[in-house]
Amino acid sequence: MNHKAKEAQVAKRKKIDQADPVYLDPERSPDERADDLLQRMTLEEKVHQMSSYAPWISKRSWEQIFLDKNGKFSVRQARQFIGRQGIGQLTCCLHNVKPRHAATISNALQRFFAEHTRLGIPPIIHDEALHGLTAFDSTSFPQSIALASTWDPALMEKISTAIGKETRTRGIHQVLSPTINLARDPRCGRTEETYGEDPYLASRMAVAFVRGVQSQGVAATLKHFVANFVGEGGRDSGEIHLSERYLRETCFAAFEAAVREAGALSVMTSYNSLHGAPCTSNRWLLVDVLRNEWGFKGFVVSDYCSVEQIHTGHRVAETSAEAGKQAAEAGLDVELPHIDSYKKMIPLAKKGEVSSEAIDTCVRNILRVKFMLGLFENAAGDPAVAGTVADCPEHRGLALEAAHKAIVLLKNEGNVLPLAKDIGSVAVIGPNANAVRLGGYSAAVVKVVTPLKGIRNRFPKRVEVGFAEGCAVQGDSKEGFDKAIKLASKSDVAVLVMGNASETEGENRDRSNLDLPGVQEELILEIAATGTPVIVVLVTGSAVTMDKWLDKVQALMTAWYPGEEGGHAIADVLLGRCDPGGRLPITFPKRMGQLPLYYSYKPDGRGHDYEDLRGEPALFPFGYGLSYTTFRYSNLRITPKSIAPGGRVCVSVDVRNNGDRKGDEVVQLYLSDLYGSVCRPNKELKGFSRVTLRPGQKKTVEFVLTEKELRFLDKHLEYVVEPGTFEVMVGGSSASGLRGKFDVR
């Protein structure tokens, strides 16, 4: 650029800066404000909006970076690290700070950006909130897989609203949640973070989560886009060899629903590549599908360091700067967790080697959301409220309700549960009985009720409750076996709390074996050999294989990672104070060799089973769960019996509680298209309703099937409703139910 051109550009910018700042007018639309602000920004300011600052990257504490020796926020120190150009996001900067103090620091930061950066653009402060904000004193709700087991989207929305309140009052504006990848191979360590294997169930839970969080002025971030957990062998982030049909029929469903129905404001890309292109620089995903097809209006963020991995991992960019260019031009708006490749991209952009239009589009997307969230008017936290809402009694009550509803009873031989009222002694045994197990991405919660503590709190005082750990979650030591066996031998019943922990599953903990780790199985067999009735409670985040010991125990339930009130919930279910109405959101295989295994497979005419597992391939099928009562389905009605392609079908069924206890049933509707122009799944979940029935009570449950439930992708990948016969199955799991048919003419 010559000298005269530079002078003209400077004069133009001065003129813009002196004009009325449209971007500061809250009466103007977010798009108008974003366009006005965008034209005032330098290239450096734009790229910094596309990036984040992570204090912990410098290996110094947050206080060391921003607070002076008297504990006061230091403008000088903040300017040293952030500079005058600002930054678009701040990464988990309030992670390890108490609620009231977090809000105070957040407010000081926002004042710094407003007063000491040229344009006063507020940063978005983000954190994780998979099942509660991952910050000190936040409420820890049951893990995601447990929340899916409730089959209760209304409860999910209440929980996510609570999460939103705890988040926003601290001054945090974005959560990197929910995780809505499908868990079709439970060897993936992050199965715990998902809403299970089914697109419809995951969609309903995702929509509920987004609506709740965003009702509090916090942007939800859908992750990981896309197909992060379905790599070969259950390995997280491996290359994905899935057809576009499979992606659209399964992996896209929850993302699309959360965008179209709930208006999700952010999406996070996944680490894996797809069809030869890293998802972080995959323009087909980020622009063609997400924005042009679904109408997404938010901003896209990278999974941590995945922009750099375009260069170092996938090796489709020779330099970090080139990786930044590829990501920006593909529609990746924000690089997380810190500024790296995008900063290195600036010299390329100055030489015109990076599309200026692409950069402007990314920045516009970011600014639009900041205006939509009202951050220019009020980005502050609320110290007075933050300290009272975090882990408040109301939210702890929600955590208990969710834990109650999430527990799945899988076996109850001889109705050993609920425990008899005259029971005199209980042996509580196992590595998860007196340990805090919350699952991945959990808050630092002080008041966690372990299963042992819950049993001691809830059981009558006359009941003798003994404890022996027995063994560790992993490892070969049997040093604790003798104590556990002696305790069980002299007790009326043994409650074995077994399962997994952060050392055996979770992120970066994919597994080749779903058996209980360590010597837990041997401990179960030893305790069972005493003759004392054995109840196994699984505290875990995924499916467990149990060929060696299932037939030796009288009862089995999975509590998943049940949150801070989980111990009380387990005790309440053992005593029969509440019904175990949870249902499985994933299929439990009998053996690992069956994986991946899910209910909605496409039949091929040659049989779906292995030679040595014919007839019943699943140990426990999707949607399965027992109750302390029994339910009878009757009077399935389908009206009308024939419709036009755009018509509606009403399906109703009567459900009666046949027992003498109040109980919860999850009524599930599955649909099968008997003949189609392309191969269709064996059956698909298309509706569900959780109902509570008193003894003898009957309720009619109704579902309406519309074009949305009947349509599918034809050979051209276009949605159609074809003439033909559909079979409806309504029941208590994916394995059985009442059946009927209707026709589309």
The DSSP element (H or E) to which 33 belongs, if any, is helix 30-38
Q: What is the amino acid identity at position 198?
A: D
- Per-residue pLDDT at 17 exceeds 60: no
Torsion, CA 243, CA 247, CA 250, CA 251, rounded to 10? 140
Within its chain, how far is the Cα of 165 from the centroid? Answer: 18
Count Cβ atoms below 10 Å from residue 712 Cβ, excluding itself.
Answer: 18
CA gap 327, 306 in Å, rounded? 10
Q: Which of 137, 303, 340, 510 is catalytic?
A: 303
Whether residue 18 has pLDDT greater than 60: no
- 């060696």: which residue's tokens? 548
Q: Is 303 a catalytic residue?
A: yes
Report the distance separating Cα 540 and Cα 516, nearest Å. 10
Task: Give ∠ CA 410-415-421 in degrees, rounded to 5.
Answer: 120
Helix (H, G, I), strand (E, B) or coil at 557: strand
The position carrying tokens 């191969």 is 679
Q: How many CB atoms lie within 10 A of CB 496?
A: 28
- pLDDT: is 61 or 557 the higher one? 557
Report residue 677 as tokens.
């122009």
Residue that is written with structure tokens 């010299």 in the block = 347
Which parts of 505-590 are beta strand (E)? 534-539, 555-558, 588-589
Amino acid letter for position 35: D
Amino acid at 343: K
Residue with the two structure tokens 């009558």: 460
Q: What average pLDDT score do residues 63-92 get? A: 82
* CA–CA separation, 183 and 179 (whole Å): 11
pLDDT attached to residue 607? 63
DSSP labels for 618-686? EEE-TT--B-SS-EEEEEEEEE-SEE-TT--EEEEEEEEE-SSS-EEEEEEEEEEESS-SS---S-EEE
698-705 and 684-693 as β-strands: parallel, antiparallel, unpaired? unpaired
Residue 344: per-residue pLDDT: 97
Q: Is the dihedral of CA 140, 143, 148, 151 positive or negative?
A: negative
CB 306 within 8 A of CB 272: no
Q: Is the pLDDT of residue 3 over 60?
A: no
Tell which residue, 223, 338, 342, has the closest CA to residue 285. 223
Whole-number pLDDT of residue 716: 97
Which pLDDT score is estimated for 582? Answer: 98
- Order of all β-strands in the sheet with 89-91: 52-53, 89-91, 124-127, 174-175, 219-225, 266-269, 299-301
Segment among 233-237, 413-417, 516-520, 717-721 with least mean pLDDT: 233-237
CA–CA distances in Å: residue 261 to residues 165, 204, 208, 265: 21, 10, 10, 12
Average pLDDT for residues 709-720, to the nearest whole number? Answer: 96
Q: Is pLDDT above 50 for 194? A: yes
Calpha distance 630→184 (Å, rounded): 29
Question: Measured in Å, how far apart are the chain's first and last C-alpha atoms?
Answer: 68
d(CA 48, CA 45): 5
Side-by-side strand order, sheet with 663-673: 642-643, 738-744, 724-731, 663-673, 684-693
The helix-helix angle for 30-38 and 356-372 (nearest 10°) equals: 140
CA 138 to chain centroid: 17
pLDDT (0 to 100) of residue 571: 98
CB proximity list for 233: less than 8 A, separation 6 or greater: 185, 187, 510, 512
**Is 70 exceeded by the pLDDT of residue 57?**
no
Tell me how far the alpha carbon of residue 607 is from its chain's centroid: 34
Average pLDDT estimate for 568-585: 97
E strand spans, 111-153: 124-127
Token reading at 116: 């000491």
Paired tokens of 543:
């499916």
Q: What is the pLDDT of residues 542-552, one digit of tens each?
A: 999 999 999 99
Position 237 pLDDT exceeds 90: no
| pLDDT tens digits, 295-330 | 999 999 999 999 999 999 999 999 999 999 999 999
Q: pLDDT by residue (tens digit) across 157-180?
A: 999 999 999 999 999 999 999 999
Kindly report, residue by residue over 278-304, the tens digit of the pLDDT: 999 999 999 999 999 999 999 999 999
Average pLDDT, the chain: 93
Which residues 6+ apart lie within 8 Å of 168 measured at CB? 216, 217, 218, 381
pLDDT computed for residue 61 by the predictor: 65
Task: Write down all domains in the chain, each with its CATH number in brackets.
Answer: 389-620 (3.40.50.1700), 631-744 (2.60.40.10)
Give the pair of three-digit tokens for residue 342. 């995008």
Residue 596 preceded by cis peptide, ω within 30: yes
205 three-class SS: helix
In this predicted model, which residue has the larger pLDDT, 276 or 33? 33
Phi, psi of 708 (to 5 degrees): -60, -40
Q: Which residues, in sequence order, are CB contacts of 629 under 8 Å at separation 6+? A: 579, 657, 658, 659, 660, 661, 662, 663, 695
Helix (H) or strand (E) holding 569: helix 566-575
Q: In the predicted model, is pLDDT for residue 4 greater than 90?
A: no
Evaluate if residue 19 carries a pLDDT over 70: no
* Three-state SS annotation for 169-202: CCCCCEECCCECCCCCCCCCHHHHHCCCCCHHHH
Q: How far is CA 282 from the centre of its chain?
A: 23
Q: Tell me the average pLDDT across 477-500.
A: 98
Structure confidence at residue 2 as a pLDDT band (50, 70, 90): very low
The residues near 189 (Cβ < 8 Å, ≥ 6 apart) are 236, 505, 506, 507, 508, 509, 510, 511, 542
Q: What is the dihedral of CA 205, 206, 209, 214, to 10 degrees?
A: -150
Q: Could you tell me which residues come within 8 angstroms of residue 70 by beta carbon, excluding any fewer than 6 positions away?
A: none
What proportion of the chain, given as a percentage, has pLDDT over 90? Answer: 85
Residue 59 is predicted with a pLDDT of 56
Cβ neighbours of residue 371 under 8 Å, at least 6 residues apart?
A: 23, 30, 33, 34
Check residue 9 and give its pLDDT.
43
CB atoms inside a 10 Å sphere around CB 244: 14
> Whole-prediction pTM value?
0.95
Q: Is residue 736 scored above 70 in pLDDT?
A: yes
pLDDT score for 7: 52
**pLDDT confidence of residue 658:** 97
Q: What's the pLDDT score for residue 56?
A: 67
pLDDT at 84: 73
Judge whether residue 34 has pLDDT over 80.
yes
1 or 266, which is more confident?
Answer: 266
Residue with tokens 């995008």: 342
Contacts of 446 (CB under 8 A, 6+ apart): 137
CA angle 182/184/188 to nearest 5° reads: 90
pLDDT for position 608: 64
Cβ neighbours of residue 706 under 8 Å, at least 6 residues apart?
648
